[in-house]
Amino acid sequence: MIEILQEYWLQLLIGGFPHTPLGGLALTVVLAVSGLVLAMPVGLLMAVPLRSRLKPVRALAELIIFYIRSVPLLLHVLWVYFLLPAALGVSFPPAITMLITLVLFNGAYISKIVVAGIDALPRGQTEAAMSLGFGRVQTMRFVILPQALRNMLPSLVSQLSLLIKETALGAAIGATEATQTFLDLANNLPGQAIQAYALLALAYFALCYPLLLLGRRLERRGRRTAKIALEPAS
């Protein structure tokens, strides 16, 4: 395994960059990190129509999110890959296509986690905030979401570690991220495929494990501290 690393570390790390678009582990990390950062707000946004007071809006949002969740990710990747350029007249690099798909797909799952987290809170929390004079949005922001997000942490962490692994599907549309790079390498090194796959597994573990630790830490901190710092009076 050491020899593989010594020989091919640069290729595994960045693919054919700078002669080709960024690839390898670096692309996986870029996709994963930007996916994590974007999927959260998109998931929160997608949760808004799910909680709308208007029934048709709720029903439509439910339908769309159910559709997203019930179709394999690979199919979404291909849809976005072919459909987006056809619809918008511009074509995106494969990595961007992959990122858009990952964010929407995981956003759909996160929206359901958010709604479940909100619904799990006692009704009295909303009533207490409203009785003080807070509106719906302020009640969400100051009272409901801070509590719901903390309760959602374990589910969020597992969803986000799925996202990291899902970046592997980028291979299907030519985003040569880590999995594709390692597969190519294994093909070129007969007899060393197992070592190459083992390295790949280690790489994914190294990406997911810190997320798990961070989640645990946030959870503990949430339970321990008496004070969540409110931002200075706005």
Binding site for other proteins (CB under 8 A): 122, 124-125, 127-135, 138, 142-143, 146-147, 150, 226-228, 230, 232-234
Q: Which is nearer to other proteins, 45 or 132 (CB)?
A: 132
Q: Which is nearer to other proteins, 128 or 194 (CB)?
A: 128
- Integer angstrom CA distances of residue 192 from 2, 9, 10, 156: 12, 15, 18, 36
Q: Which is nearer to other proteins, 19 or 53 (CB)?
A: 53
Helical segments of the chain, H only:
2-14, 24-50, 55-70, 73-88, 94-119, 123-132, 136-138, 145-166, 178-188, 193-224
Q: Are 150 and 113 in contact (CB under 8 A)?
A: no
Q: Are 117 and 148 in contact (CB under 8 A)?
A: yes
Taking the complex as a whole, how short is the minimal distance between the CB of residue 224 and other proteins, in angstroms?
Answer: 9
Q: Which is nearer to other proteins, 152 or 185 (CB)?
A: 152
Taking the complex as a whole, how short is the minimal distance between the CB of residue 123 and other proteins, in angstroms?
Answer: 9
Q: Are 4 and 181 in contact (CB under 8 A)?
A: no
Taking the complex as a whole, how short is the minimal distance between the CB of residue 230 and other proteins, in angstroms?
Answer: 6
Count of Cβ atoms closer than 10 Å to residue 123 Cβ: 8
Taking the complex as a whole, how short is the minimal distance between the CB of residue 205 and other proteins, in angstroms?
Answer: 33
User: Which token pair is 123?
Assistant: 């009704």
Taking the complex as a whole, how short is the minimal distance between the CB of residue 66 and other proteins, in angstroms?
Answer: 29
Q: Which is nearer to other proteins, 124 or 190 (CB)?
A: 124
β-partners of residue 177 are: 24
Q: 56-81 b/e with 16+ CB inside 10 Å = b? A: eeeeebeeebeebeeeebeebbbebb
177: helix, strand or coil = strand
Q: Which is nearer to other proteins, 72 or 146 (CB)?
A: 146
Taking the complex as a whole, how short is the minimal distance between the CB of residue 47 and other proteins, in angstroms?
Answer: 19
